[in-house]
Amino acid sequence: MKIYNIQNGKEFFEKIAACEGTVELVNEKGERLQLTQGHAVPSALPMTYFEGAIREMELFFQNQNDCSRILHYLMNKRHLAA
C-alpha cells in the first residue's frame, strides 16, 4: 500500500503499532523493514525516526484486517494514491 502526505507521523505510527500482524516498510530497493512484529510490543523504530510529516511510503501488511483498518484511517485522512 502506497501512502502519501502524512502530516502527523506520531498519530499514524500509533495506528500502525496497534496492528495485530506484522507490518513492513518497503524501501526504494524493495527491501522490507519490519515495523511491527505481530504481537503486543511494537518496534520503537517508527516513533524514533518518523515523528514529523511523511511525504511518501509503501507498507506491506501480513494481516488483511490490519490493512483494512489502516485503509479506513487513511481514507478518512485522504493519504492514498489516486
Q: What is the mean pLDDT of each run of 10 residues along the chain (82 residues)?
A: 84 87 90 77 52 82 94 76 48
State the pTM of this model.
0.73
> Which pLDDT belongs to residue 76?
81
> Which pLDDT belongs to residue 82?
45
Which residue in 40, 38, 44 sits closest to 13, CA to CA?
A: 44
44-56 pLDDT tens trace: 555 545 566 778 8
CA–CA gap between residue 16 and residue 46 (Å, rounded): 9
Torsion of CA 69, 72, 75, 77, to 10 degrees: -70
> Which pLDDT belongs to residue 49?
53
Handedness of CA 7, 13, 18, 19 (dihedral sign): positive
